[in-house]
Amino acid sequence: MDNFSFHNPTRLHFGRGQAAQITQEIPVGARVLLTYGGGSIRKNGAYDQVMAALTGRHVVEFGGIEPNPEYETLLRAVALGRSEQVDWVLAVGGGSVFDGSKFIAAAIVLDPAIDPWQIIGNRTPLASALPLGGVLTLPATGSESNFAAVVTRRATQDKLSFKNPLVFPRFSVLDPAMTMTLPPRQIGNGVVDAFVHTVEQYLTVPNEARVQDRLAEGILQTLLEIGPRTLAQPDDYEARANMMWAANQALFGLVALGQVQDWATHAIGHELTALYGLDHAQTLAVTLPWLLTYRKTDKLAKLAQYGRRLWQLPGDDAAVAAVAIDRTIAFFETMGVPTRLSAYGIDALAAAEAVAGQLRRHGRNRLGEGGRLTPEDCAAIVRMAL
Ligand code: NZQ
Ligand code: ZN
């Protein structure tokens, strides 16, 4: 097990009606920038509960943060926040609203002489950020209690991230009842994203991190159990609750501790979204199976562990690994998330070249555990998604 230091400062309020806790979290008299997406918060109960909890605070609303939040949109929120002199940001929505709000919280207090795009890729140090809180309505990304954010600049086809402990949410509300309005596509996306987060931190090489391995396997097992149940029974609160907690724990930070991590599937996926506009989880489902296949020799020991513990597969390592990948593909398909680019009408051969070009342009020349995947390797993986 490798050395690690761990601190996660986000207070989580989990369960029905927990948006009421916002009253304790954000002081009376605060000037709050309330950020949200395209309007789902008015249908899932979040807006009304949040506004009730914010009584006595000055609320400035900024809606319209799109999936894969766009830089230009976020700059408009920054301008509004500055002119209204807000001193808190409250994100209400999915990962896109949380990520966008992390950028907003950092950019509002950035020295106006600095180009805010420098925040992306951590190219300028941050001295401070406004305090950020959130209400999660889509379990998937883990953004509600981590310090990462992904922002898209559509004109230049850049989908890039930044990380900074200053943008950890101070608190997040996780109320599974607010997820009942999710369409099947977003349930499938959420389960696949959480699954792939766990795999990226676990399915690399054995590293004697036994607790972390079993935590990862517990999260994956839970997703296998409750994923189809959540799709089939939209009003099943316990399924929603377990999905919400599994997705949170997948990227809370614990699974990665002391482990060798991968993250090449996400790097390829971000380029596929930048190029073709696919949902984040759709890009993961068309990449992970082929990446695991491409690297099955490097990952053999962990693939065999995954196949035996998750799928109870018999046989030697190679046979178990091959069937485990097939089962993973079948699971993603069961969740309604296709595993081939042809399902989206995308030519894999052209996509492979385009992804390799984007990775080179973004300086992502050595990906995955051991830094062994070049852009050419990534192109080979994308070609397998034919
Ligand atoms: O915009 P609204 O109207 O709110 O609708 C959203 C959106 O259309 C809808 N939705 C959310 N909650 C709902 C709901 N619809 C009905 N009922 C509800 N309760 O769902 C749609 C998708 O929302 P979005 O926030 O885009 O999805 P997700 O949570 O999957 O976030 C994806 C973004 O997060 C980034 C991705 O790259 C992508 O940009 N990620 C962030 C990470 C992080 N910060 O650590 C890690 C991830 O790997 C990921 O990269
Ligand atoms: Zn993800």
Among 161, 178, 195, residue at a domain's last position:
178
352 and 270 share one domain = yes
192 and 285 share one domain = yes
Q: Which atom of ligand 1 is nearest to the CA of 69?
A: 39
pLDDT tens readout for residues 31-78:
999 999 999 999 999 999 999 999 999 999 999 999 999 999 999 999
pLDDT of residue 113: 96
234 and 164 share one domain = no
Q: Is the CA virtual torsion 24, 55, 79, 82 positive or negative?
A: negative
139 and 237 share one domain = no
Query: Which structural domain range is residue 289 located in?
Result: 183-384
173 and 196 share one domain = no
Is 170 among the domain residues? yes
pLDDT of residue 383: 98
User: 10-residue block means of pLDDT along the chain (386 residues)?
Assistant: 98 98 98 98 97 98 98 98 98 98 98 97 96 98 98 96 98 98 98 99 98 98 98 96 98 98 98 98 98 98 98 98 98 98 98 98 97 98 98
Is 4 among the domain residues? no
pLDDT of residue 344: 98
Q: Which atom of ligand 1 is nearest to the CA of 251?
A: 45
Ligand 1 binding site (Cβ under 6 Å of any ligand atom): 37-41, 44, 67-68, 93-97, 99, 137-138, 140-143, 146, 148-150, 178-179, 181-182, 186, 189, 193, 251, 266, 280
pLDDT of residue 120: 97
How far, in Å, is the centroid of ligand 1 from the Cα of 96?
5
Q: Is the CA virtual torsion 308, 311, 315, 318 positive or negative?
A: negative
How far, in Å, is the centroid of ligand 2 from the Cα of 27?
33
pLDDT of residue 276: 97
142 and 290 share one domain = no
pLDDT of residue 134: 98
Domain count, the chain: 2
Residue 356: CATH number of its domain: 1.20.1090.10
How far, in Å, is the centroid of ligand 2 from the Cα of 162?
14
pLDDT of residue 225: 98
Among 144, 178, 212, residue at a domain's last position:
178
Instruction: Name, in order, each residue with C-beta under 8 angstroms of 183's C-beta and a sequence gap of 6 or more.
Output: none
Residue 87: CATH number of its domain: 3.40.50.1970
Ligand 1, pocket-test mutation among 8, 35, 40, most atoms within 8 A of CB:
40
pLDDT of residue 103: 98
pLDDT of residue 61: 98
Residue type, 371: G
Closest CA to 385 of 220, 270, 265: 265
How far, in Å, is the centroid of ligand 2 from the Cα of 376?
22
Is 230 among the domain residues? yes
107 and 214 share one domain = no
218 and 147 share one domain = no
165 and 262 share one domain = no
d(CA 212, CA 364): 27
Among 178, 203, 224, residue at a domain's last position:
178
pLDDT of residue 281: 98
Is 5 among the domain residues? no
193 and 110 share one domain = no
Q: 253-278 burial, b for 16+ CB within 10 Å, e for fewer?
A: bbbbbebbebbbbbbbbbbbbbbbeb
Q: What is the pTM of this model?
A: 0.98
pLDDT of residue 386: 96
Is 6 among the domain residues? no
pLDDT of residue 14: 99
